[in-house]
Amino acid sequence: MDLERLKTLRKVLHESPEPSFNEFKTAEIILDFFNEVTKGSPLFKVYRPFLTSIVIDYHNGGDKPYKLFRADMDAIKVDESPTHEIVSKNPGVMHACGHDIHMTVLCGILAEVAEKLPEKNILFVFQPGEEGAGGARKMIESGVFDKYDIEAAHAIHVNDDFLVGEIASNDNVLFAIPREVDVVFEGKTAHAAFPERGHDALAAAAEFLTVIEHNIRKNINPTETFHAHFGKLVSGTARNVVSGYSKIEGTLRSFTSEMMSLGTKIVEETAKRCAENYGCTAKLTILGEYIEVRNTPELFKKLKTAAEKHKIRCIYKKGDLVGEDFGYFTKKWSGVMFWVGCRRNPDAEPVSLHSNLFFPDFGAVKVALKIMLEMLEN
């Protein structure tokens, strides 16, 4: 394994971040790397199911089932801190979620397979549009995987909460269901001096925000997880006019679809009741959602064994309320996803994903590669 080559690859990928479904240059870099390491070997076939996505089929294992490895490709609209060792060359776009590391690891596996040519069947999946754009679902719906018998799907995510040399995962749900919603209140405008002629959509929205937390707590068993967060409210036109319109943007989170349905119902009913109190109407719209990432217990066990073998610390980590569209893979096939520690300094404060200061240490690539190659082997 040529780690220096992977280091250069990471640099190039990090310098060329592109937002969801615009990963054109990124795809080019990956395909160049693919051509360089596979040297035209007939054991590899490349598919481009849609837009920038890449699926590489390595077939050298007869009718054995396939192992699938997936990396996400997109970056986000954040201005990178100029203090980093490598800095984005696309102003306003940055690999602030570490997907450059994920792609580098997947390319590392590809290089190793191209060198050793194991008697196996492998799918390398480079997936665009993870950041809220639902690329995983689109890839699956494209039908590119339909002809394959896939026994296990694998993916990683870097995480600064853990040190280089640590990984973290579990045998259940690792990432939650995030559901993005808008709640719109429609009322009737009127002069502020004649409020009785209007229906105040701002008052309805304000009441909703005040009571929603209480309603959730009173209607959901406290041992269950359902979280609603509303981060944006737009309402009204002027200080001396009764607001005829309010829009609240929020996100709902849970670990199971049952809890998500129940929680959404509570949010919707609360909105309707608050609207009625002011003679308004309320409408909840679901803009999009991912499904949960559910790890297969058997594969988590393998992960632990792989970590032990390489003296990598494997931490049991309960699921977080963040979302990841790898859930579409784990819904269809057995799968496992794990966090890969990427903080070098144990005394430094962890930097959160999507921060313009997030810069995973390259050491994370080496750790993830060891584990993934072990998962591939056994």
Give yes or no for a contact between 52 and 21, defined as CB atoms under 8 angstroms apart. yes
Give yes or no for a contact between 129 and 20, defined as CB atoms under 8 angstroms apart. yes
Which residue, among 223, 231, 221, 217, has the nearest Cα to 267 in the 3D structure? Answer: 217
Return the percent helix, strand and coil in the chain, to nearest 5: 35, 30, 35
Nearer to Zn ion, 120 or 157 (CB): 157
Determine the distance from the C-alpha atom of residue 279 to the mean position of all C-alpha atoms in its chain, rounded to a whole number: 40
Task: Provide the token pair at 89.
Answer: 């060359």
140 lies in the site for Zn ion, by CB under 5 A = no
Could you tell me which stretch among 50-58, 94-102, 105-113, 135-143 binds Zn ion (CB under 5 A)? Answer: 94-102
DSSP H helical segments within the chain, as ranges? 3-15, 24-38, 99-116, 135-141, 201-219, 257-277, 297-309, 327-332, 363-377
Nearer to Zn ion, 207 or 325 (CB): 325
Q: How far is the CB of 106 from Zn ion (least distance, A)?
A: 14
Q: Which of 18, 23, 72, 74 is catalytic?
A: 72
93 lies in the site for Zn ion, by CB under 5 A = no
Nearer to Zn ion, 97 or 103 (CB): 97
Give yes or no for a contact between 209 and 250, defined as CB atoms under 8 angstroms apart. no
Q: Return the residue of 27, 68, 94, 97 that touches Zn ion, per CB under 5 A.
A: 97
Q: How far is the CB of 96 from Zn ion (least distance, A)?
A: 7
Active site includes 166? no
122 lies in the site for Zn ion, by CB under 5 A = no
73 lies in the site for Zn ion, by CB under 5 A = no
71 lies in the site for Zn ion, by CB under 5 A = no
Question: CA-to-CA distance for 32 and 130, rounded, in angstroms?
Answer: 22
Nearer to Zn ion, 73 or 202 (CB): 73
Q: Which of 74, 80, 130, 131 is catalytic?
A: 131
Number of residues that bind Zn ion (CB under 5 A): 1
Active site includes 131? yes
Only one residue has tokens 């032990």, namely 308
Q: How far is the CB of 43 from Zn ion (least distance, A)?
A: 30
78 lies in the site for Zn ion, by CB under 5 A = no
Give the footprint of Zn ion on this chain (CB under 5 A): 97
Q: Annotated active-site positions, please? A: 72, 131
